[in-house]
Structure 1
Amino acid sequence: MSLPDPIRVAMLARVVFPLHGFGGIERHVFHLVTHLARLGTHVTLYVQPATSHDQPLVSEELAAAMAAGGGALAVRHLRYDYTSPLLRPNSILGRQINYPWYTWQLGQQVAAAVRAGSYDVVHAQGLCAFGYGWLRRHDATLRRVPFIANPHGLEEYRTPDWRKWLAYAPFRALYSYGTRSADRAIATDACTRGDLPHYLGVDPARVVVIPSAIDVDECLAWTRDDLRAAMRARLGLDEADLVLLSVSRLERNKGYHILAEALARLRPQLPPRWRWLLVGQGKERAALEAQVRQLGIAEHVTFVGKLSDNELHSLYEEIDLFVHPTLYEGSSLVTLEAMIHRKPVVASAAGGIPDKVFDGRNGTLVRPGDVNDLAAKLAAALAARAQWPEWGAASVEIVRSTFDWPVVARATLAEYRRMLGKDD
């Protein structure tokens, strides 16, 4: 069969950077649709109305780049929040109310457009696959158009907290049904490919690996010499012998309580003026502050709080080692961010991290939640400090070859073409 030119894609999502915040999913959707458009794809993005009007979805420069590639990006808005002002729309209960209705309305709208011949491919993010997936299972007309779904990090399946496990049950049902309804299900890392059949019941033959990514040029452009100097002065880094950095929400599952204990054990092996910087906010901060005081390492630990993109990427340039002791994880974009700034990494062998960090090549992997292993691996990394520049160079090569958005967007477009070229 002849392929359509350009390929017309319906992108089903709820949020996109910068209209709805700065998180990993928001950035994933933004970079996916804009890089696909740069490659000549015509994308219609379905999201909730903007919650931030500080800046437009795309700049004039980016719009020109998409047009030069022959692509286009249109946006359709659907109401998401049906809760009262007394209930946060994205709380667990708020999501249980809002998401089923949102994904159902989204599915109906996209299904009508597919029946009218408006799209060649439907691509759903996360829970947004459910509504369209249900309609597609009950309408053979919709099954003529390829459908691909990305369930992302599967946090709802991994949490060890039994209360969250119970609360997430409705989301797991939506994820599983929607993703199983697709022709292709995306695993964001090769090492997590088996998670989709295991957790969601997806046919292994339908799983395709398309990594989550970062935009290398964007990340490096956020670095500024004046902010590098400002961050050094603000955090007193000129006086430090060793600077460790961790970046994420301050939550129990990120394993910082494990890292604090490991660092306390390593004090005799650490240089006198070592520092551990924690960037991020979250409910675990008070407990971590109390823990580092009890361990006697508070003078070495700084809770930096939230940083802007420019501040964070400038800070990456000023640290020595990135440490990510997470207990469970999705793809881990912060690990990629540290790597593109030429940093060696010590990180848990969780989620997609083993596809990014390789023992003795650009860092070392640690058993999640094992304080003894973390302390031993940190000690080994410190002993190999002379190799850190070589590890940092390897980090850059890994990101640029596999996890840069232009590479991943081409892989996504190639999968669209395979789906369109296959006779079912």
Structure 2
Amino acid sequence: MDATHPQTGHPIRVAMVARAVFPLHGYGGIERHVYHLTKYLTQLGVVVTLYVQSLPPNATPGDLRPHAIETLRYDYTSPILPPNGVIGRQINFPIYSWRIGRRVARHVLHSNFDVVHTQGLCAFGYAAARHRDPRLQTTPFVANPHGMEEFRTSDRIKWLAYAPFRFLYAYGHRQADRAIATDSCTKDDLPRYLGVDPARVVVIPSAIDVAECLSQVRSELRTALRFRLGLTSGNPILLSVGRLEPNKGFDVLIAALARLRDELPPNWRWLLVGSGSARTALEQQIREAGIAEHTVLVGRLSDEELHSLYEEIDLFVHPTRYEGSSLVTLEAMIHRRPVVASAIGGIPDKVFPGRNGLLVKPGDVDDLTAQLRAALAARAQWSEWGAESERIVRSTFDWPVVAQQTLALYHELLAGNHTSHPTRSG
């Protein structure tokens, strides 16, 4: 499908509205999502104007080449409050969203864009402008809410603190012509948490760039990591990746490995990549569980180091208590690794029991122990499971595939199917 507007014949012009984008502002999942979506839509011929917060000094866009980059101030609370702390974020982000939404609306009224596509809370500002001015209703509005961690947190204080944020988040996405669910198994979350009309929900997966991931593997890094992490004699080698925070469930995995300690081969290894506030508590639990000699808390790794490390491990374990789409699971899968992961968020759309891994009840030590035991018993199938992991990613979760699905959605809306559409899978 080409990027030609079905009615005017000119290239489709999209306002991509976000707070931050890789590599200009950071390395998080949403930043990378905006980067890859912009990159691959541009390659398809879509004219993308990227709206983001002010650029840091000496920022370089790498191979990010949108038609234009429009920026706006985000931080209004420093040095009094951290700009992305619980309170600072709830002040800064709504103001930013409101102001950038009004700016985009002015350009839409001047017929500069054919589609407005927002990321996260940026939906709020444009939705408010669209509600006030009926002329904006004729331009398709697509909103992507991403992981919605504020709706899933088990921390009551954070839950209460984020109440205004959740209200604005829900309001913005209810006004969109289409709200994107990043996995089929989480599409009901948008009506449940945000109040979005189910007929306006469309499933388009979050993705990884397969070629980019595999190109970052370095043979010299693989060798260095083997010696640095003591992997030369490890068998099997288990890997987990994520922020060291309670919601990632690494404490559950430690408890399960402690139970399996006497059943595992004498030289097994578990590598935990990431940093966060729970590191000290996890270190203490590892010592008390008697698995310290088998465990390495690796800390943060560069992209090249991490993708090289995926090539050195045998099994990827992701014991998260709650999750969005889980890009680290996809990363492990493209490196042909079998996966044991929690049946939460978008993971059941990626891990299929007996095909490329096993699923676990989130937060359940008994079930994680049982599923790890089952995975170890099926070790002869790990190569087959890994091949299936790769096939799943290449067919469904590679950015060139997902960009085409996004372009198809734009065509659908520009053809006049604005107001409602049956929920469909990406």
Q: How many angstroms does 1:58 deviate by?
A: 3.2
Q: How many angstroms does 1:423 deviate by?
A: 5.1
Q: How many angstroms does 1:42 deviate by?
A: 0.2
Structure 2 length-normalised TM: 0.95
Corresponding residue number in structure 1 for 2:52:
47
Q: Say yes or no: does 1:172 pair with 2:166.
A: yes
Matching residue's letter, 1:160: S
Greater alpha carbon shift after TM alignment, 268-277 vs 397-406: 268-277
Q: Say yes or no: does 1:311 pair with 2:305.
A: yes
Corresponding residue number in structure 2 for 1:276:
270
Alignment counterpart, residue 28 of structure 1, candidates 33, 36, 41? 33
Corresponding residue number in structure 1 for 2:423:
none
Residues 242-264 of structure 1, C-alpha deviations (whole Å, 9 max, x = no match): 11000010000000000000000
Residues 138-191 of structure 1, C-alpha deviations (whole Å, 9 max, x = no match): 211000100000000011111111111111112111110000010000000000
* Unpaired stretches in structure 2, ≥5 consecutive residues: 1-5, 419-426
Corresponding residue number in structure 2 for 1:226:
220
Superposed, 1:288-327 pairs within 5 Å as 288-327=282-321
Structure 1 Cα separation of the partners of residues 235 and 359 of structure 2? 24
Structure 1 Cα separation of the partners of residues 317 and 230 of structure 2? 20
Alignment counterpart, residue 217 of structure 1, candidates 199, 211, 235? 211
Q: Say yes or no: does 1:58 pair with 2:52.
A: no
Alignment counterpart, residue 345 of structure 1, candidates 332, 339, 362? 339
Structure 1 Cα separation of the partners of residues 55 and 312 of structure 2? 35
Corresponding residue number in structure 2 for 1:419:
413
Q: Say yes or no: does 1:392 pair with 2:386.
A: yes
1:226–1:133 CA distance, 2 compared to 1 (3 A) = same
Q: Say yes or no: does 1:128 pair with 2:122.
A: yes
Corresponding residue number in structure 1 for 2:16:
11
Residues 4-53 of structure 1, C-alpha deviations (whole Å, 9 max, x = no match): 42000000000000111111011000000010000000000000122363
Give the count of matched residue pairs.
413
Corresponding residue number in structure 2 for 1:88:
82
Matching residue's letter, 2:44: L
Greater alpha carbon shift after TM alignment, 1-10 vs 208-217: 1-10
Corresponding residue number in structure 2 for 1:151:
145
Structure 1 Cα separation of the partners of residues 234 and 10 of structure 2? 56
Matching residue's letter, 2:202: V
Residues 69-100 of structure 1, C-alpha deviations (whole Å, 9 max, x = no match): xxx53100100000131421111111011011
Q: Does the Cα contact within 8 Å between 1:245 and 1:276 map onto a contact in 2?
A: yes
Corresponding residue number in structure 2 for 1:110:
104
SS in 2 for 1:141: helix
SS in 1 for 2:232: helix
Corresponding residue number in structure 2 for 1:358:
352
Q: How many angstroms does 1:384 deviate by?
A: 0.3
SS in 2 for 1:11: strand
Q: Does the Cα contact within 8 Å between 1:242 and 1:271 map onto a contact in 2?
A: yes
Q: What root-mean-square deviation, in Å, do the aligned CA atoms of Structure 1 and Structure 2 show?
A: 1.1
Matching residue's letter, 2:54: P
Structure 2 Cα separation of the partners of residues 30 and 160 of structure 1? 30
Residues 277-335 of structure 1, C-alpha deviations (whole Å, 9 max, x = no match): 11000000000000011111111111100100000000000000000000000000000
Structure 1 Cα separation of the partners of residues 221 and 153 of structure 2? 37
Q: How many angstroms does 1:3 deviate by?
A: 4.9
Matching residue's letter, 2:42: A
Q: How many angstroms does 1:268 deviate by?
A: 1.6
Structure 1 length-normalised TM: 0.96
Structure 2 Cα separation of the partners of residues 408 and 205 of structure 1? 21
SS in 1 for 2:238: strand
Corresponding residue number in structure 2 for 1:66:
none
Matching residue's letter, 1:218: E
Corresponding residue number in structure 2 for 1:401:
395
Structure 2 Cα separation of the partners of residues 256 and 53 of structure 1? 37
Structure 1 Cα separation of the partners of residues 67 and 184 of structure 2? 29
Matching residue's letter, 1:240: G
Structure 1 Cα separation of the partners of residues 396 and 129 of structure 2? 35
Q: How many angstroms does 1:57 deviate by?
A: 1.2
Structure 2 Cα separation of the partners of residues 423 and 228 of structure 1? 50
Residues 178-224 of structure 1, C-alpha deviations (whole Å, 9 max, x = no match): 00010000000000010000110000000000000000000001100
Q: Does the Cα contact within 8 Å between 1:19 and 1:52 map onto a contact in 2?
A: no
Matching residue's letter, 1:152: H
Residues 95-135 of structure 1, C-alpha deviations (whole Å, 9 max, x = no match): 01101110010011000000000000000000000011011
Corresponding residue number in structure 2 for 1:246:
240
* Unpaired stretches in structure 1, ≥5 consecutive residues: 64-71
Structure 2 Cα separation of the partners of residues 101 and 216 of structure 1? 36
Matching residue's letter, 1:406: P
Matching residue's letter, 2:62: V
Structure 1 Cα separation of the partners of residues 38 and 266 of structure 2? 48
Matching residue's letter, 1:49: S
1:3–1:193 CA distance, 2 compared to 1 (3 A) = farther
